[in-house]
Every structure is written in C-alpha cells, then in structure tokens.
Chains A and B, each alone.
Chain A
C-alpha cells in the first residue's frame, strides 16, 4: 500500500488515482471505496433534493409575503419564527420531531432507510421527516434574503414606472419586481445548499440513513482513511460545483453581467 513512503508521495498517488477514478480500497471493508461511495452519494442527494425542494419554494414564498406585508404583524412573525428556527441545531429539532411525529403520532417512520424495493413515493415518504430539520434551519435565511431583495425592488424607481404605466399590482410584482428581487436570493441559496451537504452528517446518523454523511462519520470512527478521504473530496467537489452553478444562473438572469463583455 506504500505506507512506508513520505506522506506527500502517498497523497500524490492518491490524487492521481482519484482523478483516474480509482478511489482506493477501504481498510474496513476490504473493497473498493467507489462502490460504497456511489450508493451513499445517491442517497444523500435524494435527501438533500427533498429538503431543497421543500425549503426553496417555501423560503421564497414566505419572504415575498413578508416583503409585501412589510412592517405589519405577519412580517414580524415571519422574521421571528424564521430566525428562531434557524438557530435550533438539527440534532435538537430532529429528536423533537422524531418524538412527536414518529413516536407519539406515528405519522412518519423514525428511520429514513426505506425497505428494499420501495417505490418512488415510499422513498419520499421516508425522507420527509429527516428533511424537516434542514428546512427549519435554512428557510429563515432564504426568507430573509428574499424579503430584503423584494423590498429593494419594490422601492426601486422602475417599479414606480411600472405602477404608473397602469399595470395591476400582481402584474407589477410578477413582471418587474420578482426577477430583480430574486437575484441576490440565488447566491444565498447556493451557499446554503452547500451547508445542506454538511448538515447531513447529523441527520443521517439520527435517522439511520446510509448517506455520505454517515459514511464519512463511520469511516472516521473506524479510521478508514481511504473512505474518509474520498468522502471529503466528493463533498468538496460538490461545494465547488454548486457555487459555480449558482454563479452561472445568476449571470443568466442578470443581463448586466451576462452582456458585460460585449
């Protein structure tokens, strides 16, 4: 395995192997890392996708409502609830959710691992409860950012132009305000999605889910270095990819950036 060589060389070997698709052998399982990693990654993506699909529309919707009801009771409630929710750590909210909806009410399974051969909807059903703690943490930020973007756009002079053209209020919001308002929200969503991946460790352990988070955790416990290294590397790559994607979307929606080179 070459463990007698200097660390730098070992690392170099590992990197070149990683780039060629060879992630090495797991110490713990005596099997190629890539086999475990692929399933774990797929599972994690499923979980974060469910969380993402719940939190983004919810966060934006709530943010828009808060902005339209600026400084009224609803706005204040949204701010307080959103920010309070975001400071509760996921292991606290996760346990409370399990106790209420899993143990007492028995609405949702307490484990996220679905029975083998489960269909699409069953899988989603199993993933709803684990997603909620993530949603709780993120939605406050997204709503807050959307609210700020909306208020800026609502106060902008082009919005005044749109109103004085004689457009109806919904038309003003849909055509002139939303697009400008959501531009800053996109970058927030991107950075927060990155967090989504990090937050998975606790959630996956708590809900007994075979994802990348629990994979890394177990690897660390068992000192399974090749597994750990590959897991961290993949998460890192995802970080970079999401941020890049967000920048591309931002540029696509913002003509001032898209056309600046012309």
Chain B
C-alpha cells in the first residue's frame, strides 16, 4: 500500500481559519509541506504561530470553530478532507497516530494503561487472545523492562517519562505510517527528555514511519529531524535540511530565533541576549507586505508593501525579499554592550547552614533536603539545577519561610538569623525575600488590574504613603519595561511575557535583597525568554539584588548564574562557579545532566546515560545516594560510605569518592 515515491504527508496550500464571534480569523496561510516515507520533519515557531493547528489539521481534528477553508491534506495520497466519518476513523486507526505534550493528561486516569493500549489492537481487529501479548511486545519496544507490571498500573502511578513511553507505545501499536509528535518532551526533565528523544531516534531506525515533529525547542528539532520548516504567523517562512537552516539561516526570523538562545560560553557578564523586537501579530491581523516586516531588522519599503513569495534558494525555500541580508545580520545589528560587573560582593546576603527538611510523620519520613549549606553573595546569582524531585523547590520554599525546616537548620539573612517560619520573621526580612513563579497565569489574580496588584504589594511591604505609592508603581513598571498603558489591564489581556513582567515588578516592589526565580521563563517563547532574562540581569545590576535561579534549562542557568549548585535527592552534589561546573571536572551526575542537553549545532557528544529513575526519597540508597545510577561507580565504597563535599579550590566542590584529578574523561567536556 505504501508507495515509496508518494509522500506520506502532503499539505497543499493549506489554509485554516477559526471563527471567533462571527469573525473569521485566518490561522494558516497556504502552508505547503511534504514528508517522504521514513522522513522526520520538524515544525518550529513561537506559540501562536499555528504549529499545533497544523498538527491537528493533519488528523482532521480542529476545534468546532476551526475549518480548512482552502487547500488539501493528503496522507499516502488519500485526500483527508474528502473522507467520510467512518473512513476518517479508519485512517486514525491505521495510518496516523499522535503523541501529546502532557502524557499525564492524555492518558485516561481511570483505566489501566494495559487496557488503553489493548484498545488499539481491538480497533485493528486483532483477535482478543493476542492483545495482551502484543501490548507487552510494544511496551518492550519503548524499553519498558517489566511490561506486565506496567500494564496493571493506572497512569498516575507512573512517572512522567514512563507515561510518555506508554503514550508512544500506544501510538506505535497501530504501526502508523505517520506519527505526529506535539511537543512530546516539553515539561519533562532534561535527562528524561534525552531518553525519550533517543527512544524516538531508535524507533525511527527500526521502522519506516514518517514523523511530523512539533516543538518550540530548536535544539530538539535539530537533533530529531531531517528537515525543518519555520512557521511564522501561519506562514512557512523557511524550509530546508535541519543542518542548513540552523547553521546558515536565510530568513531574518530564523536568525532571530537562533540568536535568542543563550549560546554556549556566553554569559550575562559578556553581553545581553538578542531579542526579536515586537510581538507576533494576533491571528487574523492584516499586515501589508511581508508579515515579519514590522519586527524585521533588515526590512525596507518593499518588504512593507509587497509580500514576498517563497523562493527556492537551492538547498532551501525562503519567504524573504532579501535572503542574503539574513546571513550578515549577526554583524549588522550589534546591541550596545552593557557593562556588567564581573565580580560580586562576597559578603553573604544569605547564609544557609545544615538545612534539613523532612516531610511526613513518624511512620513515613520523606527527607527532601539533607544537610544543605550554601551562601549567596550580594548581587550574586546562584543557579539551582537537578531533576524533578531533587529538592530545588523545597529549598526555595525553606528560604522563603513557606515551609519549616527541621530543628538545627540555620538561615541567616544579611548576617541576622531568620526565623524558620514566615510568621516569625521581621517585616524587613519578609520584604527582603521575594519570588517570581514559573507560571504567571496562576500567580496573578485574574480579577485585579496590574496597577492594583503592584500597588497592593507596595502597601503590604512598605510604609509609603498612598500618593507616593502611585509614583512607585510607575517607577516599577518603567523598571520592568512595561508600557504604562497596561496599568489598567487585567492579566487576561496580557501576553505571557507581559504577565511575567508584572510578576517581576511585584517581586521588586519592596526593594528585595534576594529574589527566588522558580523557572521564570519555562512557559515563555525563546524571544520573550531572552527579553525577560535581559531584564533580570539589568535589575540585578541596578539594584544589587541576589538571585536564586531555578531552571531545568541548563543553557539559561549557565547564562545567568555566577555560581551553580547541583542537587540530587536533596543533597548538594556539586557547587561552584558557573564556568567551572560546566567545563569540569564535574561530578558524574552533573556530567550526565550536561550531556543530556541537545545542542543546536548538531554536534551531540556521547550521552552519559543515567540508569533508571530517581530513587524514592522515602528509601534513599545507602552510601553515595547517586551510586544506583552512576556510570563511574567505583565499587563497594560508593554503596557503603557517603562521600563528603570535597573542595577543589576556587569555591568549587564535588561530592564524590573519585579523586578530582581522575574525574575528567578523555572526551573533551562541554
């Protein structure tokens, strides 16, 4: 049935529109994509550019108000739009399968995972006697070692990584010719992400399934896909082989996306991140000429009046009047360098000594933090990294006084002992410690205006008179580069980046000494992320505030941090200046974390794999807690004796039995 010459998927001039309150909004504008059998094609772009709409259109699953108003979708040569209901179901059963962003929600919480997979075999009309056996087989294919046990589980009993394996197994069970992956690793830990990506790569080698891979993460696409299409405002602006597009982009938008990423070896002390000015036009907006021209650095009058065609440049397609300008953009537009301090005041703003934190009662004890000692200098940024469950957030909560650490723990703020609980702290201490959360949506009260939220925080934290408060609100909004016209807006009227600016303004309203940033940019697009990171650096320099920066994105942590602490099962495994931690010698766990990050340049060093999942903190392993997953375990000493944090000089310390001089491997570390 599969014709080798026929593309598995062909989108011909695909146009999709949504009707909102009777008004038609065009989401996709004539997108042309072809995916050959066995090929992996990636679509990248900022949120709202139409990536997901394209993905769901391929399964003809659009929201009720969405419709394809022009063009064709061909799967194995079959026109999807002409199919009746029964034929469409048949196609979904046999030819196309999807893997979703959030596996915890994509699996039915009340049905055992085994039954959910068996359903696929039932739909394929395979005799019932084979279902269980085949389910086992497909779970083994996604490298689940004890399929029988997993089949009996409910989704909530599995970790995020396992859930995604199950979801992939479910998609593979029907042996589809096309697999659509919609941000399959977004929200997973870097190490789990690396596992899942390796799994998909391996599955690709074993089968001729074509892949449509949707992601906002350029490095993931670079690792996974043969070809990539860059989508902007519902239009394909550049398309070509992944290496070509990412190494020598020809569309200014692609260049912009790539330059927003914190590059290896670049830190806040060198230069701010480049951002793309402006925002994505709202769906349905009519822009004369090239749709990117309002944000483009090299656009001229022609760009603003005439829409460019998508042109064949030999090794790629590019929708730009001046593709040659993009290649020189990097030198054309240098931002004025801002002088950053390269050193920080070593006089500590925060001193944590022997912090232990135990959750639970006598019977079930859960040690979330184990003897953590840290200092944070004035104006310094300390990055906290580690997989989920490593204790990053618990540590932040302890510092903020939201949860109470065990007796004997000491937290000193500006040289003064701070009470363990918020209620016991002085107003000055409460003021001094603020937080910026990951998700500004849920951190801001939907029914309050921006002005009200900031004003209220100022009133709560300071003694400023009512009239001066208003002035302070304006100062703060200026400081976070939020236009004053948003002061009377409510969160629902703001984009993600603007909301995060409000949250930052609020955190800074009481002149804090330390701000905890808990994944502040994880929910944001790369260009917005770059702007927020630049803002944080500027605020730090002007206000001498210290940051505790939690993120799973190691590139971001490296860019922003002066020092980095690596946590594993509530213990500091390594701590040191950012560059030392990244360049090594490093702890085997740090090494594994670093090697799991996909890189944009396509050079992927041999990954140091971690065996299995993070052990339960209820029963931490004996000796060195990392020994169960360590690739460089020495022997019984690791199982029996907990190593100390050994200083290597220059503030760098590692908790490992392997002597520091033997830690570096032959391969050049990152």
Contact = CB atoms under 8 A, between A and B. Distances in A.
Interface string B404-439: 000000000000000000000000000000000000
Given A160-B61, A256-B156, A166 B93 contact: yes
B110 A166 contact: no
B519 interface: no
B154 A255 contact: yes
A161 B108 contact: yes
A164 B174 CA distance: 12
A156 B92 CA distance: 19
A164 B92 contact: yes
A84 interface: no
B154 A256 contact: yes
A259 interface: yes
A163 interface: yes
A254 interface: yes
A259 B107 contact: no
Interface centre among B108, B120, B170 (most CB of A within 10 A): B108
Contact of A255 (B59, B97, B109, B123): B109
A253 interface: yes
Contacts of B92: 163-166
B61 A176 contact: no
Q: Which label, helix, strand, loop or mixed, suits the secondary structure of the A interface?
A: helix
A195 to B, nearest CB: 28
Interface residues of B, number: 28
Given A165-B119, A166-B92, A168-B89, A158 B109 contact: yes
B202 interface: no
A167 B105 contact: no
B102 A167 contact: no
Nearest to B60: A164
A96 to B, nearest CB: 41
Interface string A244-255: 000000000111
A180 interface: yes
Contacts of B97: 164-165
Given A164-B98, A167-B123, A158 B89 contact: no
A259 B154 CA distance: 9
B123 A165 contact: yes
A158 B109 CA distance: 8
Contacts, number: 70
A179 interface: yes
Interface in B99-120: 100, 102, 105-111, 119-120
Contacts of B90: 166
B179 to A, nearest CB: 12
B119 A158 contact: no
Interface centre among A161, A183, A255, A256 (most CB of B within 10 A): A161
Contact of B110 (A167, A168, A179, A262): A179
Contacts of B120: 165
A202 interface: no
B157 interface: yes
Given A157-B106, A168-B89, A256-B109, A163 B61 contact: yes
Interface string B71-109: 000000000000000000111111001101010011111
Contact of A166 (B89, B111, B157): B89
A255 to B, nearest CB: 4
Contacts of A50: none
Interface centre among A164, A167, A176, A256 (most CB of B within 10 A): A164
Nearest to A71: B64
A58 interface: no
Contacts of B170: 161, 165
Contact of B61 (A164, A179, A253): A164
A53 B333 CA distance: 75
A176 to B, nearest CB: 5
A95 interface: no
A166 B61 contact: no
B123 A166 contact: yes
A71 to B, nearest CB: 10
A260 to B, nearest CB: 9
Interface string B155-193: 011000000000100100010000000000000000000
B160 to A, nearest CB: 14
Nearest to A169: B85
A162 interface: yes
Contacts of A167: 89, 119, 123
Interface of A: 156-158, 160-168, 175-176, 179-180, 183, 253-256, 259, 262
Given A161-B170, A166-B93, A254-B110, 7 more contacts: A156-B105, A160-B100, A165-B119, A166-B94, A166-B174, A180-B108, A259-B157
Ranked nearest first, the 6 interchain pairs of A and B with the lowest CB-CB distance are: A166-B93, A166-B92, A158-B108, A157-B105, A255-B154, A166-B89
22 contacts: A156-B105, A158-B106, A160-B100, A161-B98, A161-B107, A161-B167, A161-B170, A163-B61, A165-B97, A165-B120, A165-B123, A167-B89, A167-B123, A175-B119, A176-B108, A176-B111, A179-B110, A180-B109, A183-B110, A253-B110, A254-B110, A256-B156
